[in-house]
Amino acid sequence: TAFNEADLIFINAIGNQLAVALDRQSARAGEVRARVQAEASERRMRFLADASRLLAASLDYVQAWESMAQLAVRHIADLCILDILEEDGSIRRIPVLSPDLPKDITGKQIEDALQNVVSEVMRTNSPALYPDAQEPPLGSADITESTKRSVNERSDCYESYMCVPLLVGSRT
């Protein structure tokens, strides 16, 4: 059957309504994306402001870095481990865990899994970045193959990992 003029007007009206609905949905999606981006930007700025405040608040570098680790765990990480090389060559470890870390994973498991990486990063003063624990690290040419394997074998504890040496004067 052929459409008469009334049918064509009705179909055209439905098409127009659908076009308006799609435009509204597209505009709404754009608003949601913009809000999500603005909120993410606000969180980053708040993190940077809090970090600046914490670093300026204390001359005791251990206290300042411990506060920074707690801030990082609140905002961007599940775990932060500070390994501080003392004057006598010993290492003081300060782990900061998120209360949201799965209960079957302990900080000790993660620390043990990553010990070789920490040792090599401290030895070489070169960072190691594992954006995906199943893949080799980025920017870590000095990390040995056995260390890469030990991190990958224990990647059930974490999804990504970063180990960065921080220099104070001439000390790591």
139-168 per-position pLDDT tens digit:
444 455 554 555 555 455 566 777 788 766
pLDDT digits (tens, 9 = 90+) for 58-75: 888 788 888 888 888 888
Model-level pTM? 0.56
pLDDT band at 133 (very low <50, low <70, confident <90, very high): low
Burial of 94 (0-12, 13-18, 19+ CB in 10 A): middle
Mark residue 137 as left, alpha or beta (left: phi above 0; alpha: psi -120 to 50; beta: remaining).
beta
pLDDT digits (tens, 9 = 90+) for 95-130: 777 777 666 666 666 667 677 777 778 888 888 777
Residue 121: its H or E element: helix 107-124
